[in-house]
Structure 1
Amino acid sequence: MQDSNKFFNWAEANYSQYFNPRGENTFEIDNYLVRYYKNTDIYIGTLGKDVYIYGEIFNGLKHVGSIGDFIDLTKTESEIVNKIQIVGSNEFIIQTKASLEILKNLAPIEFEKIQKYVGIIEQGEFSHMWAFESPPRYEVSDKDSFYSLKWYAGAIAHETKHSELYQAHLAKYGLPVPDSIWSSDIAEKICLDHQIIVMTIIGAPQSDIDFINGLSADCDIGC
């Protein structure tokens, strides 16, 4: 799934005449991982590492190669965008920039908070905000970053709130900052509720918002 989503995002960025609108969700059909683009009535999919496209313009189903023929899944790069350092594969950097652009255009106040409370966004094995580092670093898994652009934007907002809780307490009271302030069950609910607000503002799919609502409700009885 992770490698397929990286490839799909690359295809959207480089062949937008076929694969638009960007950021469609990935789903499964008969062991294929697939994205469908209603604007062009085209499917793109993977079966294992093999890549297929489907549409009238391609005369049906066509095998076009393997994921590794198009993108490097191992290369790590770094780029500073709007004062935020982005570290990861080229596909990760492209995805992060696109999600930040959504926040910049649709939720500018939140975007300013990200610039203030997140110094680094780094591709990693799991998602976590390292708020006590200088600068604060958001490590994000491919599962969160490549699911969809608006999901990723919501995740960035969520982790930014964790960092804001930490930094606000630090500025007022100094060290140490208790875990209860920024990484407890109560703090998690605050961040989930904030994520819901931001995802609503940017027009994320209602199914994604409902999922976060469920997580927030679970925090009422213990995250």
Structure 2
Amino acid sequence: MKHFVLLLTTLFLTYYASVEMAAVHAIKNNAQKNDQSPSAFSTPIHISGDKTFTNHTNAALKLLKNKAPSDYTMVITYIGKIQQHTFSGMAAYETPPAYKVGAITANASVTWYASTIVHDAYHSKLYHDYLYTYKEAVPDEAWTGMEAEMKCLEAQIQALIQIKAPKAEIDYARSLRGTNWWDLNGDGIYDAEDEKLRDW
């Protein structure tokens, strides 16, 4: 019986040691990968797209984290996924909330792309603030439309200033104040028809 217990103890310790060694190797391997890539960046947001899209998205998020940390905190709070898409828009109602990014936006300068992430995160914030406050279906006007767009635009402008974006980008964003650039068919409302017409 003593030999059996000793055998079980030896087997358990051997197994435990092998698991512990595997964990140590994994940590060392990850450390080596990080050492080989000093610019590596980790974010809780799931990024879905090709390598170029993923790299540019990480660069935009890293810029926000370093230059506009409060905006970055909002972004990781209200966006769970950034996804390569045919056009740009915020799906705040999805689980997790997803920022879908079209090619023109995804291929813009890193400063402009970063500012659009803040813009759309603010849409999601408006959506979820209403949901948490009223515990009911969120009406479109709570997070889309003219009033909501102006709030999101202001958040975007402040982000551009924080990250020291080129003056031309800040001036362009400011020029959008009071305009309904998203109403592409000119019917006064933002809906699926406008989304079909988007090229950004």
- Using the size of structure 1 for normalisation, the TM-score is 0.61
C-alpha distance in 1 between matches for 2:172 and 2:46: 29
The amino acid across from 2:149 in the alignment is E
Q: Give secondary structure in 1 for the equivalent of 2:65.
A: helix
C-alpha distance in 1 between matches for 2:43 and 2:168: 30
Match of 2:69 among 100, 108, 114: 108
**How many residues matched?**
142
- Superposed displacement of residue 81, structure 1: 4.0
Question: Does residue 137 of structure 2 align to residue 176 of structure 1?
Answer: yes
Alignment correspondent of 2:38:
none
Which has more strand, going by share of residues?
Answer: 1
C-alpha distance in 2 between matches for 1:214 and 1:175: 35
C-alpha distance in 1 between matches for 2:155 and 2:76: 17
Alignment correspondent of 2:14:
none
Matches within 5 A, 1:131-146: 131-146=92-107
Cα deviations by residue, 1:171-196 (Å, 9 ceiling, x for unpaired): 11112101111011110111011100
Alignment correspondent of 1:72:
none
Structure of greater relative contact order (alpha carbons < 8 Å, 6+ residues apart): 2
Alignment correspondent of 1:83:
44
- Superposed displacement of residue 140, structure 1: 0.5
Alignment correspondent of 2:120:
159
Matches within 5 A, 1:17-56: none
C-alpha distance in 2 between matches for 1:119 and 1:108: 17
The amino acid across from 2:77 in the alignment is K
Question: Does residue 89 of structure 2 align to residue 128 of structure 1?
Answer: yes
Q: Any unmatched runs of 5+ in structure 1?
A: 1-79
Alignment correspondent of 1:208:
169
C-alpha distance in 1 between matches for 2:47 and 2:169: 25
Which has more helix, going by share of residues?
Answer: 2
| Percent pairwise identity | 38
- Using the size of structure 2 for normalisation, the TM-score is 0.68
The amino acid across from 1:99 in the alignment is A
- Superposed displacement of residue 215, structure 1: 1.1
Q: Which stretches of structure 1, 4 residues or longer, exceed 4 Å deviation after superposition?
A: none
Question: Does residue 158 of structure 2 align to residue 197 of structure 1?
Answer: yes
Alignment correspondent of 1:30:
none
Alignment correspondent of 2:25:
none
The amino acid across from 1:124 in the alignment is H
Q: Any unmatched runs of 5+ in structure 2?
A: 1-40, 181-187, 190-200
RMSD (CA atoms): 1.5
Q: Which has the larger radius of gyration?
A: 2
Question: Does residue 56 of structure 2 align to residue 95 of structure 1?
Answer: yes
